Structure 1
Amino acid sequence: MQTSITIEVRPTEIDVMGHVNNAKYLEYMEWSREDWYNKVNLPFDTLTEMNVGTVTVNIDINYRKEALLGEHLTVTTEPVRKGRTSYVLKHVIHNGEGERVADAEVTSVTIDLKARKSVPIPAELGKAFE
């Protein structure tokens, strides 16, 4: 399932170059990832009840075009692939003109919250990749 959120670039997200600071794109993607989990019926509380956490272990990001103050950005998230304990979600950020601003593949691992060790992806999460 592909999901998307729209955000407006705020003054606190701008760096000395006058555009969105590179670290903010990761935050935008994190917000979109949280929205994706909610829409596949696996919000944080549900995962916690299952004693499962998700840990980001790799981010491969490409910055394509600068985003400026006041722009409206759309961040899409979709599942790409899953392994036994890890999975990849793809994020794409477009500006209001439909131009690609950034894209990334984010690899996460599911862990046992008590043991703090990786565990197989729960079936409920695996279904989101079908």
Structure 2
Amino acid sequence: MRAAYIQEPQEWVAGFSFSTTVKVRFSETDMYGHVNNTKVFAYLEYARIEYFKALGFDFSNDSGNQNMLVVADIQCDYLNQVFFDETLTIYVKTASIGNSSMDLHYLVKNEKGDICYTARGTLVQLNYSTGKGVPFLEEQKKLLLGK
């Protein structure tokens, strides 16, 4: 792994506890049969939402929540090709959390256990009405950091 956000690869991989799976659809591949590089970000989005749901975050309109999480930046490192009909396991963890932002890390493996992608991204919690940053509650921070 060559990504600058990964200091100790074995320790970094061992730090993931949440995962979900996706199956590569034909429409997500290019003329060579491998996953189009832009589709990986949809996989990361799916895993991120599943991660937050598993932590108990409520995304329904009925919750009365006036805040939203917005992706501020995201990057992906492509390590191995992925092809149609493969099942990918996507791991997500909170790498760090600030006042109103957090850094998530992602690890994507194929069925053989090979690492295909690593990624990281910053999310910011904003208020729907004002568009301004909103600090995370202490309870949210504990959930996000697994404490």
CA, structure 1 residues 111+90, in 2 after alignment: closer, same or farther (shift >3 Å)? same
Secondary structure of the 2:60 match is helix
- In the other structure, the counterpart of 1:107 is 122
1:82 aligns with 2:97: yes
Sequence identity of aligned pairs in percent?
27
Which residue is equivalent to 1:65? 80
Out of 117-126 and 60-69, give the one that drifted further: 117-126
The letter for the 1-side match of 2:86 is E
Alpha carbons 1:47, 1:53 under 8 Å: kept: no
Aligned residues: 130
Q: Deviations over 1:53-86 (max 9, x none)?
A: 0000011210110100111110011111001111
**TM-score with structure 1 setting the length:** 0.92
Residue 44 of structure 2 is aligned to residue 29 of structure 1: yes
Determine if the alignment matches structure 1 residue 40 to structure 2 residue 55: yes
Shift in Å at residue 43 of structure 1? 2.6
Determine the structure 2 residue equivalent to 1:9: 24
* Cα distance, 1:47 vs structure 2: 9.7
SS in 2 for 1:22: coil
Deviating beyond 3 angstroms after TM superposition, the runs of 4 or more aligned structure 1 residues are none
Q: 1:23 to 1:124 in 2, by over 3 A?
A: farther
Q: With structure 2 as the length reference, what TM-score do the two structures score? A: 0.82
| 1:95 paired residue number | 110
The answer to which structure has the higher strand fraction is 1
**For residues 106 and 61 of structure 1, what CA distance do their matches in structure 2 show?**
9
